[in-house]
A = this chain, B = another copy of it.
Amino acid sequence: MSALNPPIRPEYEIAVAALPERAAARPLPWRTRLWQQPGLRRGLILVLLALAWEVLARWQANDLLLPTFLQTARALGEGLASGELVEKARISLLVLLQGYLAGVLAAFVLTALAVSSQVGRDLLATLTAMFNPLPAIALLPLALLWFGLGRGSLVFVLVHSVLWPLALNTYAGFQGVPETLRMAGRNYGLRGLRYVLQILVPAALPAIVSGLKIGWAFAWRTLIAAELVFGASSGKGGLGWYIFQNRNELFTDRVFAGLALVIVIGLAVEGVVFQTLERVTVRRWGMQR
Protein backbone atom coordinates (compact mmCIF):
# COMPACT_ATOMS: atom_id res chain seq x y z
CA MET A 1 0.00 0.00 0.00
CA SER A 2 1.53 3.26 -1.06
CA ALA A 3 1.81 5.88 1.63
CA LEU A 4 -1.48 7.69 1.82
CA ASN A 5 -1.41 11.28 2.88
CA PRO A 6 -4.52 13.16 3.91
CA PRO A 7 -5.34 16.50 2.30
CA ILE A 8 -4.42 19.69 4.04
CA ARG A 9 -7.50 21.69 4.82
CA PRO A 10 -8.06 25.26 5.90
CA GLU A 11 -8.16 26.06 9.57
CA TYR A 12 -10.98 27.96 11.26
CA GLU A 13 -11.86 29.56 14.56
CA ILE A 14 -15.32 30.55 15.59
CA ALA A 15 -16.57 32.41 18.62
CA VAL A 16 -19.00 30.16 20.36
CA ALA A 17 -22.27 31.98 20.79
CA ALA A 18 -24.51 31.58 23.79
CA LEU A 19 -26.30 28.29 23.53
CA PRO A 20 -29.56 28.83 21.66
CA GLU A 21 -32.83 27.94 23.25
CA ARG A 22 -33.11 24.16 23.41
CA ALA A 23 -35.22 22.81 20.62
CA ALA A 24 -38.35 21.25 22.04
CA ALA A 25 -37.99 17.55 22.57
CA ARG A 26 -39.41 15.79 19.55
CA PRO A 27 -42.40 13.80 20.66
CA LEU A 28 -42.08 10.13 19.86
CA PRO A 29 -44.75 8.54 17.67
CA TRP A 30 -47.65 7.38 19.80
CA ARG A 31 -47.10 3.72 19.03
CA THR A 32 -43.56 3.87 20.30
CA ARG A 33 -44.70 5.70 23.41
CA LEU A 34 -47.44 3.19 24.02
CA TRP A 35 -45.04 0.33 23.57
CA GLN A 36 -42.74 1.90 26.13
CA GLN A 37 -45.29 1.33 28.89
CA PRO A 38 -44.09 -1.83 30.64
CA GLY A 39 -47.54 -2.31 32.16
CA LEU A 40 -49.07 -2.48 28.72
CA ARG A 41 -46.53 -4.89 27.30
CA ARG A 42 -46.79 -7.18 30.28
CA GLY A 43 -50.54 -6.94 30.24
CA LEU A 44 -50.43 -8.10 26.66
CA ILE A 45 -48.26 -11.03 27.62
CA LEU A 46 -50.71 -11.93 30.36
CA VAL A 47 -53.61 -11.77 27.93
CA LEU A 48 -51.76 -14.03 25.53
CA LEU A 49 -50.96 -16.49 28.30
CA ALA A 50 -54.58 -16.53 29.41
CA LEU A 51 -55.63 -17.17 25.84
CA ALA A 52 -53.14 -19.99 25.48
CA TRP A 53 -54.43 -21.49 28.72
CA GLU A 54 -58.02 -21.26 27.55
CA VAL A 55 -57.24 -22.90 24.25
CA LEU A 56 -55.10 -25.60 25.81
CA ALA A 57 -57.69 -26.40 28.44
CA ARG A 58 -60.49 -26.57 25.93
CA TRP A 59 -58.42 -28.77 23.72
CA GLN A 60 -57.53 -31.11 26.57
CA ALA A 61 -61.20 -31.04 27.62
CA ASN A 62 -60.40 -32.47 30.98
CA ASP A 63 -61.60 -29.94 33.46
CA LEU A 64 -60.98 -32.14 36.46
CA LEU A 65 -57.27 -31.86 35.79
CA LEU A 66 -57.09 -28.56 33.96
CA PRO A 67 -60.04 -26.16 34.10
CA THR A 68 -60.23 -23.42 31.53
CA PHE A 69 -59.13 -19.89 32.20
CA LEU A 70 -62.70 -18.66 32.25
CA GLN A 71 -63.82 -21.29 34.75
CA THR A 72 -60.91 -20.35 36.96
CA ALA A 73 -61.61 -16.66 36.61
CA ARG A 74 -65.21 -17.25 37.59
CA ALA A 75 -64.19 -19.28 40.64
CA LEU A 76 -61.67 -16.61 41.56
CA GLY A 77 -64.27 -13.91 41.22
CA GLU A 78 -66.72 -15.80 43.38
CA GLY A 79 -64.10 -16.55 46.00
CA LEU A 80 -63.04 -12.93 46.17
CA ALA A 81 -66.62 -11.66 46.20
CA SER A 82 -67.60 -13.94 49.05
CA GLY A 83 -64.58 -12.74 50.97
CA GLU A 84 -63.38 -16.28 51.55
CA LEU A 85 -60.32 -16.05 49.37
CA VAL A 86 -59.50 -12.63 50.74
CA GLU A 87 -59.50 -14.01 54.25
CA LYS A 88 -57.42 -17.05 53.30
CA ALA A 89 -54.93 -14.87 51.48
CA ARG A 90 -54.71 -12.58 54.48
CA ILE A 91 -53.92 -15.51 56.78
CA SER A 92 -51.30 -16.86 54.43
CA LEU A 93 -49.71 -13.50 53.79
CA LEU A 94 -49.40 -12.82 57.49
CA VAL A 95 -47.50 -16.03 58.12
CA LEU A 96 -45.56 -15.56 54.93
CA LEU A 97 -44.39 -12.11 55.89
CA GLN A 98 -43.32 -13.27 59.32
CA GLY A 99 -41.34 -16.15 57.92
CA TYR A 100 -39.92 -14.05 55.13
CA LEU A 101 -38.73 -11.29 57.40
CA ALA A 102 -37.26 -13.78 59.84
CA GLY A 103 -35.46 -15.49 56.96
CA VAL A 104 -34.12 -12.22 55.62
CA LEU A 105 -32.85 -11.29 59.04
CA ALA A 106 -31.20 -14.67 59.52
CA ALA A 107 -29.57 -14.43 56.10
CA PHE A 108 -28.28 -11.03 56.95
CA VAL A 109 -26.76 -12.20 60.21
CA LEU A 110 -25.16 -15.18 58.54
CA THR A 111 -23.61 -13.16 55.75
CA ALA A 112 -22.48 -10.43 58.10
CA LEU A 113 -20.67 -13.14 60.07
CA ALA A 114 -19.26 -14.49 56.85
CA VAL A 115 -17.73 -11.21 55.76
CA SER A 116 -16.25 -10.50 59.13
CA SER A 117 -14.40 -13.73 59.85
CA GLN A 118 -12.91 -16.81 58.29
CA VAL A 119 -14.96 -19.07 60.55
CA GLY A 120 -18.10 -17.22 59.51
CA ARG A 121 -17.23 -17.83 55.89
CA ASP A 122 -16.74 -21.53 56.46
CA LEU A 123 -19.91 -21.71 58.47
CA LEU A 124 -21.91 -20.10 55.72
CA ALA A 125 -20.44 -22.31 53.01
CA THR A 126 -20.90 -25.48 55.04
CA LEU A 127 -24.36 -24.80 56.39
CA THR A 128 -25.65 -23.70 53.02
CA ALA A 129 -24.25 -26.70 51.23
CA MET A 130 -25.72 -28.97 53.90
CA PHE A 131 -29.16 -27.58 54.55
CA ASN A 132 -30.11 -25.92 51.32
CA PRO A 133 -30.83 -29.22 49.50
CA LEU A 134 -32.98 -30.55 52.34
CA PRO A 135 -36.69 -30.54 51.62
CA ALA A 136 -38.99 -28.91 54.13
CA ILE A 137 -40.55 -32.26 54.97
CA ALA A 138 -37.27 -33.32 56.47
CA LEU A 139 -37.45 -30.47 58.91
CA LEU A 140 -41.06 -31.01 59.74
CA PRO A 141 -40.57 -33.47 62.59
CA LEU A 142 -38.03 -31.18 64.16
CA ALA A 143 -40.25 -28.18 63.66
CA LEU A 144 -43.07 -30.04 65.37
CA LEU A 145 -40.81 -30.97 68.22
CA TRP A 146 -39.62 -27.43 68.79
CA PHE A 147 -42.46 -25.21 67.71
CA GLY A 148 -45.53 -27.39 67.93
CA LEU A 149 -48.34 -27.36 65.48
CA GLY A 150 -49.09 -23.92 64.26
CA ARG A 151 -47.54 -20.72 63.16
CA GLY A 152 -44.16 -21.46 64.76
CA SER A 153 -43.50 -24.46 62.60
CA LEU A 154 -44.66 -22.69 59.47
CA VAL A 155 -42.34 -19.79 60.16
CA PHE A 156 -39.54 -22.27 60.75
CA VAL A 157 -39.90 -23.95 57.37
CA LEU A 158 -40.34 -20.58 55.72
CA VAL A 159 -37.08 -19.40 57.20
CA HIS A 160 -35.49 -22.55 55.85
CA SER A 161 -36.71 -21.75 52.38
CA VAL A 162 -35.68 -18.08 52.41
CA LEU A 163 -32.48 -18.15 54.40
CA TRP A 164 -30.15 -20.24 52.25
CA PRO A 165 -30.77 -18.84 48.80
CA LEU A 166 -30.74 -15.30 50.10
CA ALA A 167 -27.54 -15.89 52.07
CA LEU A 168 -25.88 -17.45 49.05
CA ASN A 169 -26.81 -14.57 46.80
CA THR A 170 -25.99 -11.89 49.32
CA TYR A 171 -22.61 -13.38 50.04
CA ALA A 172 -21.79 -13.76 46.36
CA GLY A 173 -22.79 -10.13 45.96
CA PHE A 174 -20.54 -9.09 48.83
CA GLN A 175 -17.63 -10.94 47.33
CA GLY A 176 -18.08 -9.20 44.02
CA VAL A 177 -17.84 -5.69 45.45
CA PRO A 178 -14.96 -3.98 43.63
CA GLU A 179 -11.78 -3.71 45.65
CA THR A 180 -11.55 0.06 45.19
CA LEU A 181 -14.99 0.54 46.67
CA ARG A 182 -14.15 -1.65 49.63
CA MET A 183 -10.99 0.33 50.22
CA ALA A 184 -12.88 3.61 49.96
CA GLY A 185 -15.31 2.40 52.61
CA ARG A 186 -12.63 1.18 54.98
CA ASN A 187 -10.79 4.42 54.36
CA TYR A 188 -13.69 6.33 55.86
CA GLY A 189 -13.10 4.40 59.04
CA LEU A 190 -16.12 2.16 58.55
CA ARG A 191 -15.86 -1.29 60.05
CA GLY A 192 -18.04 -4.08 61.31
CA LEU A 193 -21.75 -3.66 60.88
CA ARG A 194 -21.54 -0.11 59.56
CA TYR A 195 -19.14 -1.24 56.86
CA VAL A 196 -21.51 -4.03 55.88
CA LEU A 197 -24.59 -1.82 55.92
CA GLN A 198 -23.14 1.28 54.32
CA ILE A 199 -20.78 -0.22 51.78
CA LEU A 200 -21.31 -3.91 51.12
CA VAL A 201 -25.11 -3.99 51.16
CA PRO A 202 -25.67 -1.14 48.70
CA ALA A 203 -22.80 -2.28 46.52
CA ALA A 204 -24.21 -5.82 46.42
CA LEU A 205 -27.80 -4.70 46.06
CA PRO A 206 -28.45 -6.19 42.62
CA ALA A 207 -27.52 -9.63 43.94
CA ILE A 208 -29.47 -9.07 47.14
CA VAL A 209 -32.60 -8.02 45.28
CA SER A 210 -32.53 -11.09 43.12
CA GLY A 211 -32.00 -13.16 46.27
CA LEU A 212 -35.01 -11.45 47.81
CA LYS A 213 -37.09 -12.28 44.76
CA ILE A 214 -36.06 -15.91 44.83
CA GLY A 215 -36.64 -16.11 48.56
CA TRP A 216 -40.07 -14.60 48.18
CA ALA A 217 -41.07 -17.11 45.56
CA PHE A 218 -39.77 -20.06 47.51
CA ALA A 219 -41.46 -18.87 50.65
CA TRP A 220 -44.75 -19.09 48.77
CA ARG A 221 -43.97 -22.52 47.46
CA THR A 222 -43.06 -23.77 50.86
CA LEU A 223 -45.97 -22.17 52.60
CA ILE A 224 -48.52 -23.73 50.29
CA ALA A 225 -46.89 -27.13 50.54
CA ALA A 226 -46.64 -26.85 54.31
CA GLU A 227 -50.21 -25.76 54.74
CA LEU A 228 -51.32 -28.90 52.99
CA VAL A 229 -49.61 -30.96 55.64
CA PHE A 230 -50.12 -28.83 58.70
CA GLY A 231 -53.53 -27.94 57.51
CA ALA A 232 -55.65 -25.80 59.67
CA SER A 233 -55.60 -25.69 63.37
CA SER A 234 -58.63 -24.10 64.99
CA GLY A 235 -60.19 -23.63 61.60
CA LYS A 236 -57.74 -21.05 60.34
CA GLY A 237 -56.20 -22.33 57.18
CA GLY A 238 -54.64 -20.12 54.57
CA LEU A 239 -54.52 -20.34 50.80
CA GLY A 240 -52.70 -23.66 50.87
CA TRP A 241 -55.45 -25.13 52.93
CA TYR A 242 -58.07 -23.68 50.62
CA ILE A 243 -56.35 -25.34 47.69
CA PHE A 244 -56.06 -28.62 49.54
CA GLN A 245 -59.67 -28.68 50.61
CA ASN A 246 -61.04 -27.88 47.22
CA ARG A 247 -58.78 -30.42 45.68
CA ASN A 248 -60.21 -32.99 48.02
CA GLU A 249 -63.66 -32.12 46.87
CA LEU A 250 -62.54 -32.16 43.25
CA PHE A 251 -63.35 -28.52 42.66
CA THR A 252 -60.43 -28.10 40.35
CA ASP A 253 -61.54 -24.66 39.23
CA ARG A 254 -61.29 -23.44 42.83
CA VAL A 255 -57.89 -25.09 43.18
CA PHE A 256 -56.74 -23.12 40.19
CA ALA A 257 -58.43 -20.02 41.52
CA GLY A 258 -56.31 -20.37 44.65
CA LEU A 259 -53.19 -20.81 42.58
CA ALA A 260 -54.21 -17.92 40.37
CA LEU A 261 -54.45 -15.77 43.45
CA VAL A 262 -50.89 -16.78 44.31
CA ILE A 263 -49.88 -15.73 40.82
CA VAL A 264 -51.75 -12.45 41.08
CA ILE A 265 -50.12 -11.67 44.40
CA GLY A 266 -46.76 -12.65 42.92
CA LEU A 267 -47.26 -10.31 39.99
CA ALA A 268 -48.39 -7.52 42.27
CA VAL A 269 -45.41 -7.90 44.55
CA GLU A 270 -43.05 -8.07 41.60
CA GLY A 271 -44.65 -5.08 39.94
CA VAL A 272 -45.08 -2.91 42.98
CA VAL A 273 -42.46 -3.88 45.53
CA PHE A 274 -39.51 -5.26 43.62
CA GLN A 275 -39.75 -3.09 40.53
CA THR A 276 -40.03 0.02 42.66
CA LEU A 277 -37.12 -1.13 44.76
CA GLU A 278 -35.04 -1.64 41.65
CA ARG A 279 -36.08 1.64 40.15
CA VAL A 280 -35.22 3.78 43.13
CA THR A 281 -31.98 1.91 43.84
CA VAL A 282 -29.87 -0.09 41.45
CA ARG A 283 -31.35 1.35 38.29
CA ARG A 284 -31.19 4.91 39.56
CA TRP A 285 -27.60 4.37 40.62
CA GLY A 286 -26.59 3.01 37.25
CA MET A 287 -25.67 -0.36 38.76
CA GLN A 288 -28.14 -2.13 36.53
CA ARG A 289 -29.52 -1.05 33.25
Partner of A169, one of B122, B214, B220: B214
Query: Chain A 133-161 against B: per-residue CB contact (8 Å), 1 yes, 0 no?
Result: 11111100110110000000000000000
Q: Which of A138, A142, A213, A224 has the most CB atoms of chain B within a 10 A radius of its CB?
A: A138
Contact in complex: B217, A164 (CB < 8 Å): yes
Partner of A206, one of B118, B172, B214, B269: B172
Name the residue of chain B whose CB is nearest to the CB of A224.
Answer: B135
A201 within 8 A of B: no
Task: Give A49 to B214 CA distance when docked, in angstroms.
Answer: 27
Q: Would you give the shortest CB distance from A47 to chain B, in whole angstroms?
A: 11
Name the residue of chain B whose CB is nearest to the CB of A129.
Answer: B270
Partner of A122, one of B41, B141, B265: B41
Q: Which of A210, A216, A252, A288 has the most CB atoms of chain B within a 10 A radius of its CB?
A: A210
- Contact partners of A210 in chain B: CB under 8 A: 168-169, 171-172, 207
Which residues A151-196 have CB closer than 8 A to chain B? 164-165, 168-169, 171-172, 175-176, 179
How many chain A residues touch the partner (CB < 8 A)?
72
A221 within 8 A of B: yes
Q: Which of A213, A252, A267 has the most CB atoms of chain B within a 10 A radius of its CB?
A: A213
- Contact partners of A179 in chain B: CB under 8 A: 289
Q: Which of A45, A172, A216 has the most CB atoms of chain B within a 10 A radius of its CB?
A: A172
Contact in complex: B221, A134 (CB < 8 Å): yes
Stretch at the interface among A5-13, A60-68, A76-84, A101-109: A60-68
Query: Given A175-B289, A213-B168, A270-B125: A60 and B136 within 8 A (CB)?
Result: no
A123 within 8 A of B: yes
Contact in complex: A144, B65 (CB < 8 Å): yes
Contact in complex: B172, A288 (CB < 8 Å): yes
Partner of A175, one of B134, B145, B206: B206
Which residues A258-289 have CB closer than 8 A to chain B? 259, 262-263, 265-267, 269-271, 282, 287-289
Question: Which residues from chain A sit less than 8 Å from chain B, CB to CB?
Answer: 35, 38, 41-42, 45-46, 49, 60, 62, 65-66, 118-119, 122-123, 125-126, 128-138, 141-142, 144-145, 164-165, 168-169, 171-172, 175-176, 179, 206-207, 209-210, 213-214, 216-218, 220-222, 224-225, 228, 243, 252, 255, 259, 262-263, 265-267, 269-271, 282, 287-289
8 A-B pairs within 8 Å (CB atoms) are namely A38-B122, A49-B126, A130-B266, A135-B224, A137-B224, A138-B255, A164-B214, A168-B210
